Chains A and B, each alone.
Chain A
Amino acid sequence: MIVKVPGWEMPIVWYFFLGGIAGGAYFTAAIADNFGARRDHTVARVGYLLSLPLVAVCGLLLIIDLGVPSRFMNMMLHFKFWDPMSLGAWAVGIFGGFTFVSSVLSFSTSEAVAAFRRKFSLIGMLFGFFLAAYTGVLLSNSTLPFWADSRLMGALFLASGGSTGMAAVALIMFISGASSGESWHKIEVADRFSMLIEMLVLAAFLAVLGSAAQPITSGHFAPLFWGGLVGAGLILPLLLNLFGGRVRALGVVSAVLVLLGGFILRYVVVMSIQG
């Protein structure tokens, strides 16, 4: 292989994973806030409040992974609309602002503030979608085999950001004792859709790649990909979600598995060709 790998390792795997959750949790929250019932406000608040610390961690992960962390602001002195790295740096910063404002506003009981928060989150939602997807587009716009051959990396990361973001919100609702109402069921249904879409996108992703998918579908990373992501991280949680009825423990197991699968997806994609 004449081309070189960039040496993006564990901090970037974590960033891709947590950034996906942050984006997914926020856009789920925004959708629940705008189109859900009044009681779905819990989902919205959990989503906003989860995305805020996650995006802060994301920023830190990106900075510590730089060769010269003290120069991270150099990315903010420049803007390239065609460059995923440049757009991504800006998006993390701007999205961070949205998560902060939405989180603060989610504590207000005033209807006027809530009305503003809903509209505000509709704009922030776009940055949430962006954050969940751009990392895949960044990898697929390189010169490295497998990454550059993928046309659906961004689409796949987005669907995974959705499923993991929703799973994280569901888990936090369970832990904080807010899982008894209809909202918990709704987020499970939303997560079900996301998992189904993720499976379809993953199938298309592999079909488009063909033999170029070998770094993850065969060899060292294959057991993790097929067993960890496809089996334990997608099919099993989807079955639990579909047939678990309203048994909350099964819903919790499903959410944990989805999160595990989301991490494995980022791990195998990022690490397989850089080993």
Chain B
Amino acid sequence: MARTLAMFTDTSLCIGCRACQVACKQWNELGLETPEWTGTYQNHAHFTDKTYRLVRFMEVPGAKPNGDLAWLLMSDVCKHCAQAGCLDACPTGAIYRTEYGTVNINQDVCNGCRYCVASCPFGVVTFNEQTGTAKKCTFCNDRIHNGLGPACAKACPTDSIQFGFRDELVAKATKRVETLKGMGFKDAQLYGADSNGFLGGLNAFFLLLAKPASYHLPDNPQRPQRNVVVDSLLSIGSALLVGVGALLAFRDRGKGDA
């Protein structure tokens, strides 16, 4: 495998211009959608089958260093998890990991069973009714294989979205957190940078200025498959009980042929 590529989204630099969202739509030819009123400039409320980059707008009271209301911005995207729930759930092998560590859906193989949709801890994967397949950010698979960075990172005017080798970006991000803490942003933290942390680390990781929950991110996202052994053993237990019940009811006590 080639050296792992990553996207680092530093939310402290985001100005909410949504150039990333537009660049993503243009490059990936994602088509128009009916706008949705969310109460803020955010559009749409969630990832859709035609929105792979989504700038989230959040107002969080008391999140500024001086205690004021903070207007938090975050360009959200598929996290390309090192332990990807969607990839493990996919029964056709349509979802695969590239040599750069990113996670992609082969649109020619996906048959639209939608288990990946139910298996993403971040609500990224979305079913497309027109194609009948699951859709999500491709990490601009075509671009990265041709020496170009993802369209969103290229378009970002403030370098809030940075593209590069994961190890280099993590080192950079760690320094940036220290700088921000020195400036008084006491809740500044990395989300998904630790490859020993949840989901084996995210290949699209984030620098947040407040707790993950303020950004609608789960504090401790989990692999959907983590309970498959326990649940199966409990099912086997139930099968034994029901089976023994039927056995007791039917067992031939030597008078059956009467």
Contact surface of A with B, Cβ cutoff 8 Å: 1-8, 27-28, 31-32, 35-40, 43, 65-69, 71-72, 74-75, 77-78, 80, 82-86, 89, 129, 132-134, 136-138, 140-144, 147-148, 151-159, 162, 166, 182, 186-187, 189-190, 192-194, 196-197, 201
Kindly list the 7 A-B residue pairs having the minimum CB-CB distance in the complex, ordered from nearest.
A67-B112, A37-B256, A193-B245, A67-B132, A154-B235, A155-B238, A71-B111
CA distance A157 to B239 in the complex (A): 10
With A67-B132, A82-B88 in contact, do A3 and B121 touch (Cβ < 8 Å)? yes
Residue of B nearest to A8 (CB): B114
Task: Name the A residues within 8 Å of B242 (CB-CB).
Answer: 27, 158-159, 162, 193-194, 197
Residue of B nearest to A150 (CB): B231
Q: Which of B114, B247, B257 contacts A6 (CB 8 A)?
A: B114
Can you offer 12 A-B residue contacts whose CB atoms are under 8 A? A27-B246, A40-B256, A67-B127, A68-B110, A74-B93, A86-B91, A133-B239, A147-B118, A148-B224, A151-B234, A158-B239, A190-B250
Contact surface of B with A, Cβ cutoff 8 Å: 46-47, 85, 88-94, 109-115, 117-123, 125-129, 131-134, 216-218, 221-222, 224-228, 230-232, 234-239, 241-243, 245-252, 255-257
Quick check: B257 and A142 within 8 Å, CB to CB?
Answer: no
Q: Which of A71, A153, A194 contacts B109 (CB 8 A)?
A: A71
Quick check: A137 and B235 within 8 Å, CB to CB?
Answer: yes
Quick check: B88 and A189 within 8 Å, CB to CB?
Answer: no
With A3-B123, A4-B126 in contact, do A133 and B93 touch (Cβ < 8 Å)? no
Nearest Cβ on chain A to B121's Cβ, whole angstroms: 5
Task: Name the B residues within 8 Å of A67 (CB-CB).
Answer: 110-114, 127-129, 131-134
CA distance A155 to B235 in the complex (A): 4
Q: Which of A6, A75, A133 contacts B235 (CB 8 A)?
A: A133
Quick check: A7 and B257 within 8 Å, CB to CB?
Answer: no
CA distance A256 to B113 in the complex (A): 32
Nearest Cβ on chain B to A273's Cβ, whole angstroms: 10
Quick check: A186 and B249 within 8 Å, CB to CB?
Answer: yes
With A6-B127, A80-B91, A189-B249 in contact, do A133 and B111 touch (Cβ < 8 Å)? no
CA distance A159 to B228 in the complex (A): 18
With A84-B228, A85-B115 in contact, do A7 and B250 touch (Cβ < 8 Å)? no
CA distance A133 to B241 in the complex (A): 13
CA distance A141 to B85 in the complex (A): 10
Nearest Cβ on chain B to A233's Cβ, whole angstroms: 17
Nearest Cβ on chain A to B71's Cβ, whole angstroms: 20
Nearest Cβ on chain B to A88's Cβ, whole angstroms: 8
Extra contacts, 6 of them, besides A35-B252, A65-B113 (Cβ < 8 A), are A4-B46, A66-B113, A78-B91, A142-B89, A143-B221, A162-B245
CA distance A67 to B112 in the complex (A): 4
CA distance A153 to B230 in the complex (A): 11
Task: Name the B residues within 8 Å of A84 (CB-CB).
Answer: 228
Q: Chain A at the B interface: mostly helix, strand, loop or mixed? A: helix
Quick check: B115 and A159 within 8 Å, CB to CB?
Answer: no
With A6-B115, A85-B113, A143-B120 in contact, do A187 and B249 touch (Cβ < 8 Å)? yes
Task: Name the A residues within 8 Å of B230 (CB-CB).
Answer: 151
Task: Name the B residues within 8 Å of A197 (CB-CB).
Answer: 238, 241-242, 245
Most interface-central of B94, B111, B128 (chain A CB within 10 A): B111
Task: Name the A residues within 8 Å of B120 (CB-CB).
Answer: 3-4, 143
Quick check: B251 and A36 within 8 Å, CB to CB?
Answer: yes
Q: Which of A68, A74, A132, A143 contacts B121 (CB 8 A)?
A: A143
CA distance A194 to B22 in the complex (A): 57
Residue of B nearest to A200 (CB): B241
Task: Name the B residues within 8 Å of A69 (CB-CB).
Answer: 111
Nearest Cβ on chain A to B143's Cβ, whole angstroms: 26
Residue of A nearest to B218 (CB): A2
Nearest Cβ on chain B to A270's Cβ, whole angstroms: 11
Task: Name the B residues within 8 Å of A155 (CB-CB).
Answer: 231, 234-235, 237-238
CA distance A160 to B226 in the complex (A): 25
Quick check: A68 and B241 within 8 Å, CB to CB?
Answer: no
With A67-B111, A74-B111, A75-B111 in contact, do A133 and B238 touch (Cβ < 8 Å)? yes
CA distance A4 to B120 in the complex (A): 8
Residue of B nearest to A196 (CB): B245
Quick check: B245 and A194 within 8 Å, CB to CB?
Answer: yes
Nearest Cβ on chain A to B131's Cβ, whole angstroms: 7
Task: Name the B residues within 8 Å of A196 (CB-CB).
Answer: 245
Task: Name the B residues within 8 Å of A154 (CB-CB).
Answer: 231-232, 234-235, 238
Task: Name the A residues within 8 Å of B226 (CB-CB).
Answer: 141
CA distance A82 to B230 in the complex (A): 12
CA distance A67 to B128 in the complex (A): 8
Residue of B nearest to A12 (CB): B114
Task: Name the A residues within 8 Å of B225 (CB-CB).
Answer: 82-83, 141
Quick check: B232 and A137 within 8 Å, CB to CB?
Answer: yes
